């Protein structure tokens, strides 16, 4: 590896023999392209940080990648063994081996933690419990066979919807697919449960009757709400798996996700799809009678109107999602990342030396030369290439002239190595 700067990707996992191991990869820029190189799986002697930190450092030293000031970043998951500020892998790597290796928690994992945190909402737990109950019921041979035949009759037997999906408490894509599967096969679910409610098998009959009882307006509205929110999040998670994604685009995409969740017409869209589903499958909708009720009864009542769902369900869920996104997926949580965003062409502070102060200081770059090169490059190339959007596009313009823009080239090499995705390591 001839390029100067690189970043380390390390993650611990178990193999099929239940042996703990660490995967070690590096990323670097060569001739204007990003390259990820997988070194090896290394057996972990223990799960404590001191046992883990020796392994990646030893591998890099063996292959000759051991220059102290050349690791730009280290990208791990959020486990305390890896991310701990005092005794985590990232802290010990910086204190013992690579002092400038900025720690970046993978953004796809951050999104995953947002979904996990929001799964604690009581209404969401109830909906998930109901979906799990459906999955368990239709895992039995007789209900499953009837369910598939019913879907064929109803015309909902497309390959991606013909069976219910198993929920995962930690993976947003599984949760999104599980909610969508229930929504697309609701007709078959209702027909099958009505059929088996009269079954001679008392356990099966009781389970079917229990499902019939919870499929009501409240269930359908909640299902459509979480389905929509999780679909938006799932799209963002897939987007974060692009290996060429830089930190600026990731932050902009998270901002777009927050805007989508805050859209004024989002609740109306969810409500309309829920109403259509209720009407399509003739699910009884409660008639709300005007009467005086005490405050406690109003709160506990399951008979909600549209405004109740908006105020008591939709708004709290969206607020929590956005709060978690702000807490876990904001570049403002790190002054170096915030300063680095000034190297992104779409930034309002693009190549303004004052905005990149923390980035330049952290990586010991020459501020005086940076200022001069920033000015010349901005005047000469930025105006001629107004379509520039990413850090990688800029480095491709600098590449043929890297002997002239030495400090600017260093800055962009470093920026390209600050990762967002886990795709290569996974």
* Chain centroid, CA 259 distance in Å: 16
Residues 324-336: tens digit of each pLDDT: 888 877 655 567 8
188 neighbors 150 (Cβ within 8 angstroms): yes
pLDDT value for 347: 81
Residues 260-271: tens digit of each pLDDT: 998 889 999 999
Calpha distance 66→69 (Å, rounded): 9
Q: Is the backbone of residue 217 left (phi > 0), alpha (psi -120 to 50) or beta?
A: alpha
Q: Which residues contact 252 (CB under 8 A, 6 or more apart)?
A: 346
**Encoded tokens for 173:** 């894509």
Average pLDDT over residues 47-62: 58
Average pLDDT over residues 84-97: 69
- Return the sign of the alpha-carbon dihedral for residues 46, 51, 54, 56: positive
Give the rounded percent of residues in the chain with a pLDDT score beyond 70.
76
Strand partners of residue 102: 73
Q: Which of 55-69, 220-234, 249-263 has the highest mean pLDDT?
A: 220-234
DSSP alpha helices (H): ranges in 103-216?
107-118, 122-137, 141-154, 172-184, 186-196, 202-214
pLDDT value for 106: 72
Q: What angle do CA 352, 360, 103 make, to 5 degrees?
A: 120
Residues 127-151: tens digit of each pLDDT: 888 999 999 999 998 998 998 888 8
Residues 333-377: tens digit of each pLDDT: 567 877 888 888 888 888 888 888 888 888 888 888 888 888 888
Q: Which residues contact 92 (CB under 8 A, 6 or more apart)?
A: 49, 50, 53
Calpha distance 355→151 (Å, rounded): 59
The answer to which of 45-54, 73-82, 229-238 has the lowest mean pLDDT is 45-54
Taking CA atoms, 321 is separated from 63, 77, 250, 276, in Å, by: 44, 20, 17, 26
Calpha distance 210→206 (Å, rounded): 6
Q: In what order do the strands lie in the sheet with 71-76?
A: 33-43, 20-30, 6-14, 71-76, 102-105
Strand partners of residue 71: 6
Q: What angle do CA 352, 356, 362 make, to 5 degrees?
A: 160
The three-class DSSP label of residue 45 is coil
Question: At residue 290, does pLDDT exceed 50?
Answer: no
φ and ψ at residue 211, rounded to 5 degrees: -65, -45
| 29 DSSP assignment | E
Calpha distance 314→324 (Å, rounded): 16
Question: At residue 252, does pLDDT exceed 60?
Answer: yes
Calpha distance 339→318 (Å, rounded): 30
Question: At residue 209, does pLDDT exceed 70?
Answer: yes
Calpha distance 316→312 (Å, rounded): 7
pLDDT value for 426: 46
């Amino acid at each position: 590896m001839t390029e100067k700067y690189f970043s380390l990707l390390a993650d611990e996992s178990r193999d099929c023999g239940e042996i703990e191991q660490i995967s070690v990869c590096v990323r670097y820029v060569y001739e204007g392209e990003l390259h990820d190189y997988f070194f090896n799986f290394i057996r972990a002697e223990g799960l404590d940080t001191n046992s883990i930190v020796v392994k990646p450092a030893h591998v890099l030293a063996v292959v000759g990648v051991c220059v102290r000031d050349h690791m730009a970043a280290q990208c791990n998951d959020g486990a305390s063994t890896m991310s701990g500020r005092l005794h985590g892998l990232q802290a010990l790597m910086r204190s013992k081996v690579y002092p400038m290796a900025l720690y970046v928690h993978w953004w796809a994992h951050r999104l995953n933690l947002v979904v996990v945190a929001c799964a604690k909402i009581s209404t969401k737990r109830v909906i998930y419990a109901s979906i799990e109950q459906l999955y368990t019921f239709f895992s039995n041979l007789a209900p499953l066979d009837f369910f598939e035949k019913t879907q064929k009759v109803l015309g909902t037997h497309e390959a991606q919807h013909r069976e219910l999906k198993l929920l995962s408490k930690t993976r947003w894509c599984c949760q999104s697919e599980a909610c969508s599967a229930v929504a697309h096969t609701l007709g078959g679910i209702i027909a099958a449960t009505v059929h088996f409610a009269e079954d001679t098998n008392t356990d099966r009959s009781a389970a079917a009757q229990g499902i019939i009882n919870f499929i009501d307006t409240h269930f359908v509205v909640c299902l459509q709400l979480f389905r929509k929110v999780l679909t938006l999040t799932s799209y963002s998670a897939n987007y974060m798996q692009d290996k060429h994604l830089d930190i600026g685009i990731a932050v902009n995409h998270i901002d777009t996700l927050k805007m989508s969740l805050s859209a004024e017409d989002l609740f109306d869209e969810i409500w309309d799809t829920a109403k259509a589903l209720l009407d399509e499958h003739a699910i009884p909708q409660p008639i709300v009678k005007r009467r005086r009720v005490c405050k406690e009864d109003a709160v506990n009542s399951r008979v909600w109107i549209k405004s109740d769902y908006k105020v008591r369900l939709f708004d709290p869920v969206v607020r929590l999602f956005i709060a978690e996104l702000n807490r876990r997926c904001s570049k403002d949580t790190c002054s170096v990342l915030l300063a680095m965003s000034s190297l992104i062409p779409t930034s309002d502070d693009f190549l303004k030396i004052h905005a990149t102060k923390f980035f330049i200081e952290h990586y010991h770059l020459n501020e005086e030369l940076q200022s001069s090169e920033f000015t010349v490059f901005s005047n000469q190339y930025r105006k001629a290439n107004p379509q520039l959007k990413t850090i990688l596009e800029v480095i491709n313009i600098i590449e043929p002239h890297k002997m002239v823009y030495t400090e600017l080239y260093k800055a962009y090499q470093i920026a390209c190595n600050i990762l967002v995705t886990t795709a290569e390591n996974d």
